[in-house]
Every structure is written in C-alpha cells, then in structure tokens.
Amino acid sequence: MWQRWVRGGLLALSVVLACFLAYLLVTNSTMVPTPTAAAPGSMDTADATISQFTFTQTKGDTVQWQVQAQEARLFERDRRAMLQVVEVTLFDRQGKELTMTGNRSEPLVIHTESGYVIYTNHLAWTDQTREIRTEDRVRIVGHGLEVTGRGLLGHLDTEEFEVLEDVHVDLAPAS
C-alpha cells in the first residue's frame, strides 16, 4: 500500500517538473528577482535538488518525449521546479527524434534526425497534433540550405516544417 503512495507521489512530482519545463520552453522568459534577501524560488531556497534528472513520457510501450536536466531544484511552496542545462527529445511514431536544447539567454536549438538544425527564440508543442509552432523568427540550416523567416509550423511525424512568413532561402555551393 505504501509503495502505491510513493509511486503516486513520484509520478505527481515528475508531472509537475515536466509541466514547468514545458512552460520554460514555451515562454523562454527571464525571471526578475524581487529585492528581498532570498526571493521566493531563488536557488538558495530550494527544498530539494536532483542531479541528472530525467523524465520520460510514454503511451503504452512507446516513448513520446523525454526531458533531461543536469539539475532540478524543487520549490514545494511555489509548486514548481527550476531545471538547469535542459534537453527535450520528442519521438515520432517510428522512433525518429527531434531534440531541443536551450536556456533563457540563448535561442532554442532544435536538431532533427534528418540533419537539419532549427534556431528560434520560442517554441510551443501541441501533443494532440504532435506539432511544434512559433511566431518568432526562425532559421533552418542543413544539406546546403539556409532558410530564414518568421513563424514555423512543424509536423513531427512527417518531419515537415513550414516557414510561414518573410521566407528567404540561400543555397550553399556544392563541394
């Protein structure tokens, strides 16, 4: 019986951490500390710290996505976590990957399994349609192409990406 409670507690904690990571990736916001000695949620007031944190979301036997962080600091009062050095990997139905890395001061970097790299400042993931989307500037580099523009709609399962506005394509000379 107690094992069931422990599993439930760990699952709830994992869901809270994954939701907070998704919030950080979606907003890519910076936090402004309040002028107190120890601001709520500051690194000094963490209730717990987890090194080499990994959270994996599955559906049946299939892995849907995975969040990895070098460190997770948990704040029980605020019901949130701060993740440091974060990497998110999304998997399609055939097991192909889309890996995102980033932090608050640099653009997100998205690596596709087919060899393209996408750069943007903001990204939203919709689990039901398995799409990534942004209205921000984007840059896609790979296979002799550099595509820039504003806005992106990407379908994970087909690995098709559409730059929505102000599209420019540069071709690299063949070597």
pLDDT of residue 31: 47
pLDDT of residue 125: 86
Nearest to 82 by CA among 50, 54, 105: 50
* Per-residue model confidence as pLDDT tens for the chain (175 residues): 767 776 766 666 676 666 666 665 556 544 444 434 444 444 557 899 999 989 898 888 888 889 898 888 989 888 888 888 889 898 877 777 888 887 777 889 999 888 999 999 998 888 888 899 999 999 999 999 999 999 999 988 888 899 999 999 999 765 5
pLDDT of residue 136: 95
pLDDT of residue 41: 45
Residues 6+ apart with CB under 8 A from 12: none
Strand partners, 66: 56, 89
Place of tokens 């402004």: 32
